[in-house]
Amino acid sequence: MAKRNRREDEVDVPVDIDWDELRAAATEAMERAYAPYSRYRVGAAALVSDGRIIQGCNVENASYGVTLCAECGLVSELHMSGGGQLVAFVCVNNDGETIMPCGRCRQLLYEHALPGMLLETVSGIRTIDEVLPDAFGPRDLEEVAR
């Protein structure tokens, strides 16, 4: 696999991601979404460090505040299916268009991402650090524990 340049604190993330395959998996997940209130179905898919592709969809709730984003389902699937770290991610809407995860979900993805994880965004391929600069994460807590 071809590798991209990396910062000192990043690991190598492959650049030859099959974005079409990931987008198709996200679209399939979107079709399973439960969105009777907003009717805005969202699907997400990610490549995991061991080569698996995992998926998630949004699940709404009548009380709105406990609605689960597609990214929540995806991270749950990550752990239910063996763990690992996210390498590449894409999220789509009802029309199969790529959409950007909200800030809360970017933080959720950051927690479970390989440093330098790639995301397909509305403005092209970006790293997790580009879409969530100066993020707070597990390494910050490790510093406190020392």
pLDDT at 55 over 60: yes
Q: What is the mean pLDDT of the segment spanning 50-57?
A: 97
pLDDT tens digits for range 35-46: 999 999 999 999
Structural contact between residues 91 and 56, judged by C-beta atoms closer than 8 angstroms:
no
pTM of this prediction? 0.88
pLDDT band (50, 70, 90) for residue 56: very high
How far is CA 50 from its chain centroid? Answer: 15
pLDDT reported for residue 98: 97
Average pLDDT in the chain: 90
pLDDT at 8 over 50: no
Which residues are catalytic, by number? 71
Residues 122-129: contacts with CB under 8 Å, at least 24 apart: 122/98, 125/19, 127/13
DSSP state letter for 28: H
pLDDT reported for residue 6: 39
pLDDT tens digits for range 58-75: 999 999 899 999 999 999
Structural domains of the chain, with CATH: 19-145 (3.40.140.10)
Other CB atoms within 10 A of residue 8 CB: 4
